[in-house]
Amino acid sequence: MSTSSGGVSPQPPSLEKRLPLALALMMAVLLIFQYVFKPAPAPKPATAQPETKTAAQVASKPAVSAETPTAPAPVGQTQAASQSFYKIETDLYSVEFSNRGGVVTSWVLKKFKDNSGHPLELINKSANVPLPFSIEVSGAKLPFDPNTVLYHENKLNDGTGVEYVYSDGKTTVRKTFQFSRDSYLSNIRSEVLRGDTPIPNVLMWRGGFGDQKVRNAALSQHTVRYDTAAGKLNTKTTKDAKNGPVSDSGNYLFAGLEDAFFAAVAMPESGSPLEIRTYSDDVKLPNEDKSAQYVGAGISTGAENNISLFVGPKDIDILKKVNPKLSQIVDWGFFGVIAKPLFLWLNWVHDHWTNNYGWAIILVTLIINIALFPLRFSSLRSARKMQKLQPQIQAINAKYKNVSIRDPRKAEQNQEVMELYKREGVNPVGGCLPMLIQLPFFYAFYRVLSIAIELRHAPWLWVPDLSSPETLPIHLLPVILIATQFLTQKLTPAAGVDPNQQRMMMMMPLIFGFMFYYASAGLVLYWLTGNLVGIAQQLIINRFMPSPTPPPAPAKAPVKRTAKK
């Protein structure tokens, strides 16, 4: 290119000269930009909040850079800065919560004591399992553990309720607990939301439930559900869940946990389907040498749990006030047609006559045995007839003396004996009738003492609790029972019994003593009272109906002596 003066135009700077200049200009621009346009501060994380705050702070929306004014703001997070505890006190409960996991750490029934005399704690605190009302999510995996994060806590309704909320900005977990001042019924809600989509979740109570101080506590605890359609109460134990949790779903009136005298059962709102899971948790109590399998339960009504929860004693009057059908949780067993009236009768005798359940058991047993006296009298008459037939029976036995039990002629021997009984009008099993009649009452007393909350910790003389075994180093009631059992056998006719069998029968009192030694004191008291009444009746009968005179022994043939040679 030429100029007007006709000289050569100057050449542009070479690449070596332009590159340093470009870098210098770029650095200058960056320095000026950072000085003029300061970046907005980043939002502080929740863990950086002061330790004095116990509630979660909702994170504010982060500042938007001037260069990205249209960028969407992330959803706020909800969480707490530190762990805190909150206790709800009602007339019946003392319930403590932790915001770590939004769980219950203690659930005490104020009106009841455990077997050690301390306030009754329903949670097995020795269990190394999730605490009650921990969440188990079905069919999804959360980005955090809902049972270890710190929930924001909101107190509700003048201290009778609490709400726990946690959110990482995408997934939210919410639990609400609402109690009444004078009721064992509470309302529990829980939900897990991923955005606006609900995720089904299960509320758990693991590691056992009820009085952990009773003997063999783990064996008395079950999951329970009432099938409305079948009208049936169903239970499951740790054996059902030995290979992992098992689930049952249906239109259940209630489902949950129980031990002998207490229950924690959920009732779904509006009759919605209810799922109950049964867990088996290996737990070692502080004073035990070995661990044991304790039952756990999980409850779910679907995407959102909304349940009425009864936690309290299996007292029929209390249960009926909550829901008349809730009384079905008291299982009277196979002989319920006897056990339930017997319980009502014991209660009436206690309230109107004795004011003590021990004396009520004695009085009711006395009345039962007096009512059964005609059967005992008929049994003794049958035994007396059997005694009169002994010479004829012995003659028949002698006739078949060398016949083995496998020989066909043995049937002929039995036939002759039965024809003799028929001819003389004797019922060979008549003596067993009173014992057979007493067995349903025995089982009914066993059920009443096992499940009736009224008899729990009911004292009598030296016995502090009729529903449990004696606490003395030597259990006196079973020892006395053995003595009365020996005396009963001594006084009762044993017609037609082989002497060897009689000697074996003398071992029965010891077997009874072994069987009753660790039975509930009230059950031993019932059987012992029956023995004493039976002894008195037997003495009266023996006086007015003495045993027949035994036939004279056959004379021995003289021994011939040979003369010595």
CATH code: domain of residue 172: 2.70.98.90
Both 295 and 269 in one domain: the answer is: yes
**Residue 252 belongs to some domain of the structure:** yes
How many CB atoms are closer than 10 A to CB 203?
Answer: 23
Q: Which residues pair with 235 in a beta bridge?
A: 224
Rg (CA), the chain: 40
Please report the pLDDT score of residue 52 as a whole number. 35
Question: Domain ends where: 330, 349, 370?
Answer: 330
**Residue 75 belongs to some domain of the structure:** no
**Residue 26 belongs to some domain of the structure:** no
**Residue 297 belongs to some domain of the structure:** yes
Q: Provide φ and ψ at 318, rounded to 5°.
A: -65, -45
Both 304 and 346 in one domain: the answer is: no
Question: Domain ends where: 279, 305, 330?
Answer: 330
Both 270 and 373 in one domain: the answer is: no
Both 221 and 305 in one domain: the answer is: yes
Contact present, 75 and 104 (Cβ < 8 Å)? no
Both 372 and 491 in one domain: the answer is: yes
Both 321 and 188 in one domain: the answer is: yes
Q: Which amino acid is at 356?
A: N
Both 291 and 355 in one domain: the answer is: no
**Residue 399 belongs to some domain of the structure:** no
Burial 448-476 (b: 16+ CB within 10 A, else e): bbbbbbbbbbbebeebbbbbbbbeeeebe
Both 272 and 363 in one domain: the answer is: no
Tally of domains in the chain: 2
Both 346 and 311 in one domain: the answer is: no
Residues whose CB is less than 8 angstroms from the CB of residue 468 and which lie 6 or more positions away in sequence, other chains included: 115, 214, 215, 520, 521
Angle at Cα 262 formed by Cα 256 and Cα 265, nearest 5°? 20
**Residue 28 belongs to some domain of the structure:** no
Both 319 and 383 in one domain: the answer is: no
Q: What is the pTM of this model?
A: 0.76
Question: Domain ends where: 312, 330, 348?
Answer: 330
Both 348 and 481 in one domain: the answer is: yes
| Domain assignment of residue 193, given as a range | 85-330
How many CB atoms are closer than 10 A to CB 260?
Answer: 21
Q: Are strands 252-258 and 222-227 parallel, antiparallel or unpaired?
A: antiparallel
Q: What is the pLDDT of residues 267-304, one digit of tens each?
A: 998 778 999 999 999 998 777 778 899 999 999 998 89
**Residue 50 belongs to some domain of the structure:** no
Both 210 and 126 in one domain: the answer is: yes
**Residue 56 belongs to some domain of the structure:** no
Hey, what are 186's tokens?
């509470």
Spans in the chain with pLDDT lower than 70: 1-76, 428-435, 493-505, 545-565
